Amino acid sequence: MATRYSFTSESVTEGHPDKVADRISDSILDAATAEDRYSREDCETVLLQGIVVVTGQISTSNRLGYAGIVRSVLRGIGLDNALGYIDWKTCAVLVYAEVQSPDISAGIGKPGRGMGAGDPGIMFGYASGETRKPMPLPIMLSHRMVRRLAQVRRDGTLPYLRPDGKSQVTVDYEDGVPVSASRVVVAAQHTEKVDRSRLSEEIEAEVIRPSIPEEMLSSDALFLVNETGRFVIGGTRADTGITGRRIVADTYGGFGSHGGGCFMGKDPTKVDRSGGYAARYVAKNIFAAGIALRCTVQPAYAIGVSEPVSFTIDITGTGQVVGSLIGGEASAVFDLSQGAVIESLDLHRPIYRDTACYGHFGRDGEKFSWERTDRKRKMEQVLHV
């Protein structure tokens, strides 16, 4: 008998307060790295009402214009209304930043292959054959919808939309294979005057259906749009934004497993970021080599130690060879020491602003180096598949 279940993932728009905080933190990192590639940063941003607070530990030789970076991010998203969310022109920007602790700095050491990890932690990487990326289908559909919300707001297709919003997609599975999307939830901030029935109809026509192909929708698919009936007050007037509060949407939408830390606002000496990217890199290459249909990778690090303290691969019974063999051979193909990960993925670059929304994985472009599959042939060779 077939095993049936449903799984839901969510994503949030670029104008959601948490994502605004993420983008500010990563934009500060990019600004620092652009002039000083070895800048160290663990930056948190908090948004509330008309105030933006930037805090954390930031060590860089570059002089950073924090207020200018913050206002540029807000303006780029379209946050220009103090009544509806926050205004880039009039908001207060407060900065409370210190240099990195010398105790942490000493543990990391100098850049290079022998450098130590900047913190302890566990990370997870995941890959599966549900989409061509390869990523779980629910999170990819959710990201696609919030991208579409931003597009139709920006190009004037739905001029009454405002930057805040969220999407959820429920996908029905049969024997572990996605069959159809059965439930779609959209919460979209809007102006005062738009009629709810018009908003629901146009969100369905201009956002949901262009994002989810007809053949992916179940015959009885249910669309739930702004079910409270009104979403005028949003952004920082409705919710406080904090860096790193959307780690499930940032990764695999609840599939696989999740480590304890976020990526945003952290330079790559922080293994939450570099280790998370390395784990995805390994998992995707194992999948690309045809070794397993699903793969979860977990490295763990200790602060000040270069090599991971553990490295585990789980293929959940979907592979051609046993998982323990894959793990042993993968260790010979992938150098997961802290310095080697940063060097091989070229992580000391100003590439992070674009990771702050729509997820870190399943992305295209040269910036997303952890999405490469340049080690798949080596994995095929060592495992003789």
Provide the pLDDT for residue 328: 65
Q: What is the mean pLDDT of residues 55-79?
A: 93
Whole-model pTM: value is: 0.93
Write the CB contacts of 76 (distance below 8 Å, at least 6 apart in sequence).
none
Provide the pLDDT for residue 111: 74
Q: Which residue has the higher pLDDT, 222 or 236?
A: 222
Provide the pLDDT for residue 384: 56
Tens of pLDDT, residue by residue over 286-322, are 999 888 889 999 999 999 899 999 888 888 766 555 4
3-state SS of the chain?
CCCEEEEEEEEECCCCHHHHHHHHHHHHHHHHHHHCCCCEEEEEEEEECCEEEEEEEEECCCCCCHHHHHHHHHHHHCCECCCCCCECCCCEEEEEEECCCHHHHHHHCCCCCCCCECCCEECCEEEECCCCCCCCHHHHHHHHHHHHHHHHHHCCCCCCEEEEEEEEEEEEEECCEEEEEEEEEEEEEECCCCCHHHHHHHHHHHHHHHHCCHHHEEEEEEEEECCCCCCCCCHHHCCCEECCCCHHHHCCCCCCCCCCCCCCCECCCCHHHHHHHHHHHHHHHHHHCCCECEEEEEEEECECCCCCCEEEEECCCCECCCHHHHHHHHHHHCCCCHHHHHHHCCCCCCCCHHHCCCCCCCCCCCCCHHHCCCCHHHHHHHHCC
Provide the pLDDT for residue 119: 83
Bridge partners of residue 117, in order along the sequence = 303
Lowest mean pLDDT among 16-20, 233-237, 364-368: 233-237
Q: What is the mean pLDDT of residues 54-73?
A: 92
Q: Which residue has the higher pLDDT, 317 or 192?
A: 192
Provide the pLDDT for residue 82: 80
Tens of pLDDT, residue by residue over 108-156, are 777 777 788 888 899 999 999 999 999 999 999 999 999 999 999 999 9
Q: What is the mean pLDDT of residues 246-262?
A: 91
Mean pLDDT of the residues in the chain: 91
Nearest Cα neighbor of 165 from 183, 148, 149, 154 is 149
Q: How far is CA 256 from the centre of its chain?
A: 14
Lowest mean pLDDT among 35-39, 130-134, 242-246: 35-39
Q: How many CA atoms lie within 13 A of 342 on its CB side?
A: 26
Q: Does 330 score more than 80 pLDDT? A: no
Assigned token pair, 296: 């979860």
- The amino acid at residue 339 is G
Nearest Cα neighbor of 2 from 217, 174, 189, 218 is 174
Provide the pLDDT for residue 193: 87
Q: Does 94 score more than 70 pLDDT? A: yes
Give the alpha-carbon dihedral of 271, 272, 277, 279, to 10 degrees.
Answer: 80
